[in-house]
Chains A and B, each alone.
Chain A
Amino acid sequence: MTAPEIRSRLVDDAAVIYPGTYLNQLRGESIENQCQELLASGIRNIVINFEETELINSIGISILLGVIESVNHAQGALVLSNMNASNRELFEMLGLMSHVEMLETEEVALEKLCRVETIV
């Protein structure tokens, strides 16, 4: 299986990752690898924009937990944005809302991360 390409962009000191329509194992592992690379390159602020993501399955959840742990371990900040109602409900149901920041839009997420950067 070939690893799918995951779209991302850098905004100042932050990186925004776009997981695409369906977060499954292949795409999830690509996102995890991309996050590891970003953290290794010194980027500490990461936004994952779920605007196009219709469905996150249990494999996707498992991989996102890995991403959250990696960012926490690197003392970085992770914000999930643009999540649809059903994916948000899934996070709520699993009790993850208090462990990861979730904001309405990418812009708000970037603003929040940049503000944090400034304060630091």
Chain B
Amino acid sequence: MDLTHRKMLHNLSALGDLAAEISSTHNFEDVTRASLHTLLGALAIPRGAIARYTSKPRQLKIVAAKGSAGAAGRRIALNRDEVERLTDHAHPMSVQAQNNGLAHFVGRHGDLLKRLRAHLCVPMIARGELMGLIYLSEKFTREAFTEDDIEIISAISRSIAMAFYNNRLLVSLKRKAEENRRLYAETRQLYRDTVRAFGAAIDLKDTYTAGHSDRVARYAEAIAREMGVTGQELEHIGVAGYLHDIGKITVDRAIINNPRPLTDKEFGELNKHVTTGFEILSNIRRPWDQIAYMTKCHHEKVDGTGYPAGLKGDEIPLGSKIVTLADSFDAMMTDRPYRARFTLEQTLSDLRRQTGKQFDGEVVAAFCRSLLKEINGTTRDRVFIPMIGLRFDRVAISATLDSMLGELDGSSSEYRSAAS
């Protein structure tokens, strides 16, 4: 093989190495260093540096250097005119040239050019924008650069410039994605806070139910999680818990707080809260649109005797079945205008009696498992404990829950052993 072909092969191989580096997943500092080595090694140039251009502030910063230890990190300020002149020079130029309008710029960092023994500088241009500048010393052999050498330097510099352009784009996209993620998280938090505030406002109508919506949401989430519900569906169930009684804002406060048994007319008025709530929430668009229907169905019963539509079994959304149980548990465990709170034993007895009638068996089983885990300390969650307190017969309650799980054919063996 003659010398020309050998040189061509070496230069092609250098371009190949550069392409591999540029497309690698190494960090960009390593890629820049390897790119500089590739360019220097292609033509046996002992010293050189790559400076990155930033427009704010308008300056070059040495990001990779070889042959001058103190060069890396050095910044060189540019004025607008110099940026334009460098952008117009897409080809290597001698740093000694006086006729390119850059003599002042060269003079401003003469010490650095001296340390790098800079002979050529090559503006890195990508899509018409200045990406940076490459400084090159003479060849190791001190031979002059040939026209072929200049072509190779230009080609490699263009590739490095493109890598800088793409990296800038990637960094900007990452920054925007991060910003979007932050904004999305903030919006979600704001949404959740608003929903909680609504829940608290609903509860204010009833002097007996302070914190009811908040607790129903937390119970519903705990039960849903126990059933394996995750992600957005879990979030929707929690929101339905917060807003299940939103329709009560149109019900007369005297009916809600009436200590005597309600008349049929009053019942009719109170029961309207599910359809009113649905109307209020039905304006909420995707992906939260199912929340309105979940709240509408939270007084449906699996045996079909509930309201407003008398739905049965699986006609009722899972989220509604969960909210129904969470709502009833909280209602039984708190004082009401017309009765005192139930004991935990009484509440569990009622849940057991109503399983398959008012409540879905799988939901009751998930509730029992969650409660049992908290009682036995097999979870750090404290969702139900704040409500049930510590004054109950732990052994008896565990046995009741275990027995309920047995009846429901829930997977209770591990809780059985934990309870004992």
Q: Is B314 interfacial (CB-CB < 8 Å)?
A: no
A85 to chain B, nearest CB (A): 11
Q: Are B38 and A95 in contact (CB under 8 A)?
A: no
Q: Are A58 and B66 in contact (CB under 8 A)?
A: no
A58 to B153, CA, bound (A): 13
Q: Is A6 interfacial (CB-CB < 8 Å)?
A: no
B145 to chain A, nearest CB (A): 13
Q: Are A89 and B46 in contact (CB under 8 A)?
A: no
Q: Is A9 interfacial (CB-CB < 8 Å)?
A: no
> Of B5-13, B209-217, B239-247, which stretch is located at the interface?
B5-13
Q: Are A62 and B141 in contact (CB under 8 A)?
A: no
A109 to chain B, nearest CB (A): 21
Q: Is B107 interfacial (CB-CB < 8 Å)?
A: no
B361 to chain A, nearest CB (A): 57
A3 to B288, CA, bound (A): 52
Q: Cβ of A119: which chain B residues have Cβ within 8 Å of it? A: none
Given contacts A1-B26, A25-B34, A96-B140, contact A65 B6 (CB under 8 A): no
Q: Is B67 interfacial (CB-CB < 8 Å)?
A: yes
Q: Are B34 and A65 in contact (CB under 8 A)?
A: no
Q: Are A58 and B42 in contact (CB under 8 A)?
A: yes
A103 to B74, CA, bound (A): 41
Q: Is A14 interfacial (CB-CB < 8 Å)?
A: no
Q: In A65-106, which residues have CB < 8 Å from any B CB? A: 65-66, 68-69, 89-90, 93-96, 98-99
Q: CB-nearest residue of chain A relative to B43? A: A94
Q: Cβ of A62: which chain B residues have Cβ within 8 Å of it? A: 36-38, 40-41, 45, 66
Q: Are A69 and B44 in contact (CB under 8 A)?
A: no
Q: Cβ of B42: which chain A residues have Cβ within 8 Å of it? A: 58, 61
Q: Are B44 and A96 in contact (CB under 8 A)?
A: yes
Q: Is A48 interfacial (CB-CB < 8 Å)?
A: no
Partner of B13, one of A57, A94, A98: A57
Partner of A25, one of B14, B37, B67, B140: B37
Q: Is B30 interfacial (CB-CB < 8 Å)?
A: yes
Q: Cβ of B43: which chain A residues have Cβ within 8 Å of it? A: 94
A96 to B40, CA, bound (A): 14
> Can you list 12 A-B contacts with CB-CB less than 8 angstroms, sorted by A residue number?
A1-B26, A25-B34, A57-B13, A57-B38, A58-B37, A61-B42, A61-B44, A63-B41, A89-B6, A93-B10, A94-B43, A94-B140
Q: Which A residues have a C-beta under 8 Å from some C-beta of B?
A: 1, 25, 28, 57-63, 65-66, 68-69, 89-90, 93-96, 98-99
Q: A28-B37, A66-B67, A94-B141 are in contact. List 11 more A-B contacts (CB 8 A).
A: A57-B13, A58-B37, A60-B41, A61-B44, A62-B38, A62-B40, A62-B45, A89-B6, A90-B6, A96-B141, A98-B141
